Chains A and B, each alone.
Chain A
Amino acid sequence: MLREHWLTRIALGCAIFGLIILAFYYEKSECEWKTINGISKDSAGSKVSIFGRIREIKQYENSISFQVYDGNTINAVIFNPAKEDFIQIQDNDLLNICGSVSKYKGKLEIIVESFKVV
């Protein structure tokens, strides 16, 4: 027979393990601050965080694509955006974007995971 204190110990163990997983998740998902000029072909696959103004927004059924400008330009795309995303992103907005760098048709672009209108 196991006693009650074993239950509380197991529960405490779950909490500690949960916190470790949370820390690991943040370590893995952390975006590295970069300027657009600093993003090169070597950055493909890595997560970056950039600031820039929005240009040439194109809205589709399952995605929103736009250009981000901070002196240099890079394409960005949001897949399966939430309804509010269509309203939030306007031309010339200053956005902080976090996403992964990928290649599309020979050009670098950012697949947006999260963004904030500044």
Chain B
Amino acid sequence: MFEILGYILAGCFLGIISGILPGIHINLLSILLTKYVPNADINIAACIIAMGIVHSFVDFIPSICFGVPQEDNYLSVLPGHRYFLKGQAYKAIMLTVTGGLFGIILGLLFLPLFFSIGTKFFYEIRKYLAYVLIGTIFMMVFSEKENKKFWAMLIVALSGFLGFLILRNGSSENGIFAAITGFFGISTLLESISTNSCTKKQIITEFSFRKFDAIKSPILSIIGGSIVALIPGLGSNQAAFLIREIQGKIKTSNYLMMIGGINAVNLMLSFFALYSIGKGRSGPALVIQNLIHLNSDQILLIIATVLIAASFGVFITILISKKLLNALNEVDYKKLNIGILIFIIFLTIVLCNWHELIIAGTATSIGILTIKTKVKRSLCMAFLIVPITLFYITLL
């Protein structure tokens, strides 16, 4: 038992590294673990699960503090970064942590329902998804004010076309990274630097939350996380976007709690989906799928790993965010943004080939256009929603 606890703790520490450092992804670390650790078996699977869960908590820190999005949380960047600029980054991070923890707890309680109803409706849900996504695209555009509808349509068209080019030959992981970096990272940083946006001093006060919000947001995140865990092609951000559009107005605090929950629940359920539908719906789950064949006894091991890793994720996120935010108060924000921008551009150049650099440049331009025309930044999500919609239309 102590051996597997060691693997779980090792996974937790790897989750910190992948969560904090942009460009180092849990998919990459999962593959490296199976390649370089001999006799990989259920212990490595537990390590990967723990890494994924901790990553889902910690990766909100760079997105909220530095405006640096990662693949699975870029829709948190914008509301989260707004909190940062108001000096309330700690509150934003704690909202995502609360959503993640309660999402996992409620997700585990709803697990029998996920196994029975979720898998039965697996193929049914897919039939109607194209209609939902088409409706979402219309809602995205026509919810804008009259004078902005044209720009909204243009941005959806440009982003959607870019996404189609990226994904038409199969998923290009670095292409998606380049696009997200351009849409939500480089454009945000350039705007921050050019407008000399300044941030208030970060205040770390004791966080408090309403019991009702701590239940409501995780319930929404279980719905979103279940859909993402079962349906290929949909990510946490798309699920959060769909739920927000269907739900209507949602407070920023509840939105951050929900997205924190969706991130954690999606990853957790992707491991359970391995057992229920035999398919992995996340990178780490796919790696585990090739590693071992899960049986019913090992479900207990997954539950134990998720709970231990979630607890670790909460404590480590609180610790890191407090230390980091105190350090950030001593730093010139403009110089920090310039430093982060240089780092992200360097990372993009290192990781991407020349096609993907063009994608990043194009996405940055569209991102800047979105900011200047003051339409919803989430319109850029059309880069994933449009190709996915086309994919599901072909299934009809």
Contacts and interface: CB of A to CB of B under 8 A. Distances in A.
Interface of A: 1-4, 7-8, 10-12, 14-15, 17-19, 21-26, 28-29, 79-80, 82-83, 113-114, 116
Contact of A11 (B207, B209, B295, B314): B314
Given A2-B211, A18-B306, A7 B314 contact: yes
Contact of A4 (B206, B290, B306): B206
Nearest to A7: B98
Interface string B298-321: 001101111110111011001000
A7 B338 CA distance: 35
A12 B346 CA distance: 40
Contacts of B305: 18, 22
Nearest to A19: B308
B244 interface: no
Contacts of B208: 1-4
A25 B314 contact: no
A11 B41 contact: no
Given A2-B209, A3-B206, A15-B311, A21 B290 contact: no
How many B residues are at the interface, by size bracket? 35 or more
Contact of B209 (A1, A8, A23, A116): A1
A114 B44 CA distance: 14
B264 to A, nearest CB: 12
Given A3-B206, A14-B105, A8 B304 contact: no
B292 interface: yes
Contacts of B292: 82
B300 A24 contact: yes
Contact of A26 (B1, B39, B303, B308): B1
Given A4-B94, A8-B314, A22-B5, A79 B293 contact: yes
A14 B303 CA distance: 10
Contacts of A8: 314-315, 318
Most buried by A among B211, B304, B308: B304
Nearest to B209: A2
Contacts of B209: 1-2, 7
Contact of B304 (A4, A19, A83): A19
